[in-house]
A and B are shown apart, each in its own frame.
Chain A
């Protein structure tokens, strides 16, 4: 177990390095930040001064060396646009995204597992057919469309919730709801399928022969067995959300890391792009680790 974990950490570290190298040079291809940042009528002198200040006049390789050296000392540079340390800007946005992702994933997990399990208990029943329909629609509906319809119906027509921004609990409802729908539909289907297989297994027969009641058969005997494939999908969905839900964040003016990344790319704020990528990569790495741990907790056969 420890050895496996070690190997995982080492390989993840190399992936991260490769990612940073790639993003560093690719982002430089997008053009000169000075041209975007300074007014159009800026003089050559001003441009030179700006470039000198941000070290953009040095050869690329030298810039890269300096960047790596700084990062090793936990200095991720400053944001050009905000004139603050890039890492502070990123962590601020990331906190928003993290909250959004955690709330959504917690809701998705709890509801998908409960509803999916009950639906699978009587496959082909009325409840099951209703659930399958809902999950199919949920899994295939495009989020930008749902977001816009949601704003039109619930904010503009009914006026129940604000259209965008943050501040109150009400601001969270629409973004969470829109972000919820697709993973919910997807995970619901995986739970249902996995539980269906588990209900057909031999140990369920044993449980029935022991006199175990239906509720315990669903939520004790089969659920834990059926969770392994479900956890994988939950992990995938959570990773996608930690990357920042770009569409949802943009539509709702939500100050998350996805929106920050898009803005920084458009503004050629290189240090922020790089810091955001490193932070989300680390978050995804930690989440994968948690999934591995969940696996071994759930299935004793993996503890070798």
Chain B
């Protein structure tokens, strides 16, 4: 049997926490060959990153403990090596790229220094390291490399920062690159470019790429083989094609069926008096124009999705409509009355009817309030809705409605999972019987299977209660399944607005097409068909 480039055998890792021992991974084995891309796919808490941390010696012990297994690289067990020998391998022969490059780059050193550092540690002379750093910046497509060397991480865009991380990882031509969710924090078009770059560099250097991801689309796009993990164990291994089209394990089947973007598209047909009619909305922050004249109409009970990349003005639009920020000019007619000009007293009444659900329920729910307090607070502010005697029973009813148990009322937010917390946030919004709920990336932070459940919940509420939604999202497949209308935004302007079918099947504008093309399909066959023209298009754009 030929030796693998890297082999993990029977690895088990535990974490000893105040709440007891957590088995992060149990007895997992996998291998990576030269020139191969292996994806480890899993949701949060599945242990998908743990083996990478073990390989890189990044597990803090305590609280972590490696209870069994070995990691064989170049004929030796990494886990049994002394620290200084492992340091000589880290960065030189095995390099790592992380999610969220802004926090993973040191904010107080120039990027040139940080790239050169990895070469200096491993014994390259300063001049040679500098020259190589410049070459790398050119290779990963950073404009004006000379000047870029002297800049700091915060002076680059998200995509550029990830390119800098890639340059740093490739500096010493490693045998293996481990990429932990490398594109999760990036916009779709940027994600496509970064994945294409990783693919090209792999072909050039023949390195083995270990990709850790939660995204079936990423797997379909670049993986040769995939390892599916759930609750610390490997449930399935195979090529992306086998795993997607012929999943053996129930968990894999569940994961694949939860992938959004393949349901029936909605065919909106409502006519009559609009619930909300926005005209020419403008908002600037200093000299930065966040909204440059946005207009759209929303019928009662319908869903308008607002899509676009970061900085396109999606959230500013939501804040302006709820009057969390005041718009500079324009109109927004709520049942015929301009809500942007409403006096405070009327606005207070209106706030009941427009509710918001935020992206991160961990931050938007007060950690020191129980679920009962969080939900009933709405009636403290608007006492005319419900007499106090009925609060308890209504809270329990709402919890049941969002799929939680009435017994949860006395718990605190931290006692719930991310998906459950988002349900609490939805119950809180429903407490005021709103006619419109604005969801600002309300499902973006959730795992795919949880996301599917929350979307199903929102859909049920829409059908049963006739609530209209403004659904801000960057994830197009979710939008495709959920929305009636779609507005595509770019740089504060509305690029295109239409029914979901018009936008997804017959986009009129280049930008919309590019956005749709950049999205990754979870089906490896569909994605393979898309890949070639997309990379070419990406190069022309980049």
Contact = CB atoms under 8 A, between A and B. Distances in A.
Interface of A: 201-203, 205-213, 216, 221, 224-225, 298-301
A207 B58 contact: no
B96 interface: yes
A211 B58 contact: no
B374 interface: no
A300 B108 contact: yes
Nearest to A212: B121
A300 B57 CA distance: 30
Given A202-B103, A225-B107, A210 B117 contact: yes
Q: Which residue, B57, B92, B118, has most C-beta atoms of chain A within 10 A?
A: B118
B105 A210 contact: no
Given A300-B107, A300-B154, A210 B58 contact: no
Given A212-B117, A299-B108, A301-B152, A203 B88 contact: no
Contacts of A201: 103
B104 A203 contact: yes
A216 B486 CA distance: 51
Given A208-B90, A210-B121, A211-B91, 11 more contacts: A202-B98, A202-B104, A203-B103, A203-B105, A206-B96, A208-B58, A209-B91, A209-B96, A209-B98, A211-B118, A225-B106
Contacts of B152: 300-301
Contacts of B90: 208-211
A203 B153 CA distance: 11
A207 B56 CA distance: 11
Contact of B95 (A205, A209, A299, A300): A209
A108 to B, nearest CB: 23
Q: Which residue, B103, B106, B165, has most C-beta atoms of chain A within 10 A?
A: B106
A203 B109 CA distance: 11
Contacts, number: 71
B108 A205 contact: no
Contacts of B100: 202
B122 interface: yes
Contact of B108 (A202, A208, A225): A225
A203 B104 CA distance: 4
A288 to B, nearest CB: 22
Q: Which residue, A202, A210, A212, A221, has most C-beta atoms of chain B within 10 A?
A: A210
Contact of B92 (A203, A205, A211): A211
Contacts of A202: 98, 100, 103-104
A206 B95 contact: no
B87 interface: yes
Nearest to A301: B154
Interface in B149-199: 152, 154, 165, 168
B367 to A, nearest CB: 20
Interface residues of B, number: 29
Interface in B63-114: 84, 87-92, 95-96, 98, 100, 103-109
A301 B107 CA distance: 8
Contacts of A206: 96, 98, 104-106, 165
Contacts of A301: 107, 152, 154
Q: Which residue, B104, B108, B118, has most C-beta atoms of chain A within 10 A?
A: B108
A147 B104 CA distance: 48
Given A224-B108, A225-B107, A205 B154 contact: no
Contacts of B118: 210-211
B91 A221 contact: no
Nearest to A225: B108
A284 B121 CA distance: 42
A298 B91 CA distance: 26
Contacts of B122: 211
B518 to A, nearest CB: 26
25 contacts: A203-B103, A203-B104, A203-B106, A203-B107, A205-B58, A206-B98, A206-B105, A206-B165, A207-B106, A209-B58, A209-B91, A209-B95, A210-B91, A211-B89, A211-B92, A211-B118, A211-B121, A211-B122, A212-B87, A224-B108, A225-B106, A225-B108, A298-B108, A300-B152, A300-B154
A19 B327 CA distance: 44
A213 B123 CA distance: 13
A300 B108 CA distance: 6
Q: Which residue, A212, A216, A225, has most C-beta atoms of chain B within 10 A?
A: A212
Interface of B: 56-58, 84, 87-92, 95-96, 98, 100, 103-109, 117-118, 121-122, 152, 154, 165, 168
A48 B274 CA distance: 91
A210 B107 contact: no
Nearest to A224: B108
Contacts of B168: 210
B154 to A, nearest CB: 5
A291 to B, nearest CB: 17
A304 to B, nearest CB: 10
Nearest to A203: B106
A210 B105 CA distance: 12
Nearest to A205: B58
A208 B118 CA distance: 10
A194 to B, nearest CB: 14
Contacts of A225: 106-108
A31 to B, nearest CB: 55
A202 B101 CA distance: 9
Nearest to A199: B60
A299 B107 contact: yes
Contact of A213 (B87, B89, B165): B87
B445 to A, nearest CB: 18
A208 B108 CA distance: 17
Contacts of B104: 202-203, 205-206
Contacts of B56: 208-209
A299 B108 CA distance: 6
Nearest to B100: A202
Contacts of B91: 209-212
A224 B165 CA distance: 21
The list of the 3 closest CB pairs from A to B, nearest first, reads: A211-B91, A210-B91, A211-B90
Contacts of A207: 106
Contacts of B154: 300-301
A211 B56 CA distance: 9
A225 B91 CA distance: 22
Contacts of A210: 90-91, 95, 117-118, 121, 168
A157 to B, nearest CB: 46
B57 A221 contact: no
A206 B154 CA distance: 16
Given A202-B100, A205-B98, A211 B88 contact: yes
A206 B178 CA distance: 12
Nearest to A227: B108
Q: Which residue, A206, A212, A221, A299, has most C-beta atoms of chain B within 10 A?
A: A206
A209 B55 CA distance: 10
Contacts of A212: 87, 91, 117, 121
Contacts of A221: 106
A189 to B, nearest CB: 23
A253 to B, nearest CB: 45
Contacts of A208: 56-58, 90
A225 B103 CA distance: 12
Q: Which residue, B89, B95, B109, B122, has most C-beta atoms of chain A within 10 A?
A: B109
B255 to A, nearest CB: 27
A281 B55 CA distance: 57
A206 B168 CA distance: 10
A234 B108 CA distance: 20
